[in-house]
Structure 1
Amino acid sequence: MRGRSGSRRGRSRKPPTRPREASSVSRAGRRGAGRRGAPPSASSATSGVPARLRDLGVRPSKRLGQNFLCDPRVARRIADWIEDPLEPIVEIGPGLGALSIELASTGRPFVAVELDFRLAEHMEEELRPFPKARVVRGDILDRPVGALIPEAGQVTVVGNLPYSITTPALEWILGQKERVGRALLMVQREFAERLTAKPGSKEYGSISVFVGLNAHIKRCFRVSPGAFYPRPEVDSTVLEVTPRPYPGTSAEEREAASRMARAAMGARRKTLANALARGLGLAAGEARALLEEARLDPDRRGETLSIPEFAALARAWIGRGRPGGDG
């Protein structure tokens, strides 16, 4: 559900189908699952969702961007990107469980975190047949991975994210590199374009720099609006996010480079010198001295700087005693 709640594979290759353990519950016996060889269509899967939501007393919030994944083919396709059937999973906002059942049925450790208590109760019942699956009620942003899956080792995070929580969720994921091996996230297509944008493009922004400093992003596949209820107005994209630090940078430098990007691109029509002076609270001469030390043209625009250039700017800023403070 949407609501608050490099890869080894080449782009042209389909991900291999993961091996599966025998499940204690037959797929044919699952509510709304359909047979493996003939999954229900998106339209037929969506048709029963309004009634189920009414029964639960849930009204999808347009303000929160709540769109429930209904197409089992999409859920299966996401699940097939996870090759190890026993790989632990944390799901952000399971909603009605279209993806949850697909992932929990292998017998892996599985934790779904749901903010809405009505949906959480629903998911507790849906996941009851799977002894290693459980639901945690609350906000994912308040719960570190170690509190959800205490066992050592890395986990995969999955989620169908609304625009409003995508950036906080990414920060939550990338702030736990030692525990999160990767994430498979479904986001609005426009947001996916921002995350993977190149310098100089209109989509390139501070979030592009932040993600580039802390992860490798791969676009997996597109999802049409018909896979959701209510039907959104835009396409979605499934992304594979692999946390990893940008080569040759320290944690302090990455944090500082992200701050430089926010300052430099906070006023896109201003020159780099003027934007940094404004964004960092520096005198004009101090901003120009900082850029000179980083060997950057003060008359460039912030949105033209590459990640290595933001890293160089961050090193110069740190070396000069972080003028303007940490903000």
Structure 2
Amino acid sequence: MKRLISFSLLIVLILSGCQNAEDKTKNKETNTIRLAHTGSETHQYHISSQKFKELVEQKSKGKLKVNVYANGSLGNEDELVDQTMTGTIQMSTMAADSSLSNTIPEMNVFGIPYLFKNKQDVYSKLDGKPGKNLLKLTEAKNMKGLGYWEVGFRQFTNNKREIKHPEDMENLKLRVQSAKVWNEHLKALDAIPTPISFSELYSALDQGVVDGQENPLSTISSQKLFEVQKYMSLTNHTYTPAVILMNEDYYNHLTKQEQKVVKESIDESTDYQRKYIAQQEQKVKKQLKDEGMIITEVNRKEFKDNTSNVRSTITDQVPKSIVREFSE
């Protein structure tokens, strides 16, 4: 009988040890955040993601780990949205008005031309009620909108000709993000909108699939688009924020303290990135000129007047109330 009890106890101890080992493995996995994006290692996405990683690991004293995956190594933006919703990855960041707008149409508000006056106007809206209300819409898709990192004000580039006036855009085949608002924007300028994945943008320009594209200065630099584009027009036509997303189930699994660490790290990395990009912009402009790009100042009012009807074409996706919040 004693032998039977001893044997039973041994089995219990073995099973308990296995369970503890399994629990430790699970804990290790659940405390590792996989954060994916499609930018290069010098892209705005990566600058903020790396700062976030540094802050989270520091503030949690190593209890939370962040692995950052760049260059679309885990998928394009459509795939990253799906993976974040299902929990295949814990976090992602991407342009608000690109693939994310196919899941959350209201994000198309950021594709409305000349919605913001300047960066101060942008930050007051993103950090205030309009931005917070928009982030809440992610929760219906099992995601937690944590905030906005910066991509920046966007500029047109092309290989055909210098663009000074809206009529110079006629028949230019330009890569745009996969969203209705971008189709309407380019059509209003008599250009030809061509949706192409961001990860395929460089090769599309290099091979002449499209004549040009539009992106912020920092993106044009970090993705080396100056190698395949000659002309750039400083239109500042839209501002693109990068929405920071976390799988909602994963977020709810975190302790209150861990959620606090994540929130503080988002806020601090946002401030860090905004200052960093502001310091870099003049340097980037000079670099692009030195690389041989012809940079043209434009009359923004002309472009604004020609695209003023775009917002009325997307009322089925962006309620007037949201447009009003961001316009006021």
Q: With structure 2 as the length reference, what TM-score do the two structures score?
A: 0.29
Using CA pairs below 8 Å that are at least 6 residues apart, which structure has the higher relative contact order?
2
Larger radius of gyration: 2
- Of Structure 1 and Structure 2, which has the larger fraction of its residues in helix? 2
